[in-house]
Amino acid sequence: MSHPQKALLDEFQYAIHHFVPTLPEEIKVEAQSIHDQLESDKTADEAMIRRAFHDVGVKEYPYRHAYDELIHTKEEGKMNQLVLEHVDEAVRKVIEPHLNAGVHLDELVRSDLLAEHLTPEQIYQVVDGIAVAKSKLGEAIKSHVSADAAAYDALLKKWNDHVKMIEGKLVELLAFAKKGDEGQASEIKGKVQMYKEGFLVTEPDPDEKEIEEEISYWKETFAEEG
């Protein structure tokens, strides 16, 4: 009998398989252990698994973004080429002009452009192509990390600080749940959970501007009610 939350656990496993090569081995091992424990526990519900998404994602996120910045500066041309080779002709015709114009792959995926011109299945081709390309470029990026450890460490610190900043804003947003009625509290908690899941590689990154807008909205809402 499959796990009641098989789809979520499959997504979690997909994320683990696509961790960046520069992620410390102990984080990979811990993530796999958490996944396997959840998979063997048929009582593990959606909330438990989504909390695990956040706990693992927060640790992995800075390494992924530091790695991505190195790809931008060192291997972007190869990265684009590998993705273009991975997708079919229809998808290639949509994304290639933008890549040639200097738009980064991660910016393209986050934009509305793909949703306007591609089906969800075609968008998945791009996302999967990026994951495959990163894996293929792993050894090249590792050599860049070794050759310029100071630059990589600086990027890692930058993204660790970014995680702390986002987490602080989520704590601020969650605090409004105590001020609202049951419906408002549920809405706020749901938004916070959604943003937290954004730390995992398979989910859209938590958007700082969007979180700040949520904080402003609830601040004004409760000020008017008060």
pLDDT for 226 equals 59
DSSP state letter for 71: I
**How much is the average pLDDT of 38-54?**
93
Residue 1 lies in a domain: no
Residue 190 lies in a domain: yes
Over 70: is that where the pLDDT of 125 sits?
A: yes
Q: Would you give the distance in Å from CA 17 to the centre of its chain? A: 14
CA gap 138, 33 in Å, rounded: 23
Tell me which residue range forms the domain holding 154.
6-225
User: Which stretches within 137-181 are classed as H helix?
Assistant: 138-147, 149-175
Residue 184 lies in a domain: yes
Name the band, by pLDDT with cuts 50, 70 and 90, for residue 49. very high
Q: Per the structure block, which two tokens stand in for 187?
A: 């809405």
Average pLDDT of the chain to the nearest whole number: 89
Residue 108 lies in a domain: yes
Name the band, by pLDDT with cuts 50, 70 and 90, for residue 156. very high
Over 70: is that where the pLDDT of 158 sits?
A: yes
Residue 92 lies in a domain: yes
User: Which stretches within the chain are classed as H helix?
Assistant: 6-17, 25-40, 46-70, 76-86, 89-100, 105-110, 113-117, 120-136, 138-147, 149-175, 182-197, 208-225
User: What predicted TM-score, i.e. pTM, was given to this entire model?
Assistant: 0.72
